Amino acid sequence: MFEGPDLDAAERRVDDWQAGFEQRAAQARELAARLAQLSGAARSDDGLVTVTVGAGGALTGLELDEGIRRQPATETARQIVATLAAAQADLTAKATVITDETVGADSETGKAVIASLTR
57-73 pLDDT per residue, tens: 999 999 999 999 999 99
Query: Do residues 53 and 39 lie in contact, with contact meaning Cβ atoms separated by under 8 Å?
Result: yes
| pLDDT for 23 | 83
Q: Residue 89: pLDDT above 70?
A: yes
Environment class of residue 43 by beta-carbon count within 10 Å: exposed (0-12), middle (13-18) or buried (19+)? Answer: middle
Q: Residue 2: pLDDT above 70?
A: no
Distances, alpha carbon 114 to alpha carbons 22, 79, 91, in Å:
22, 26, 11
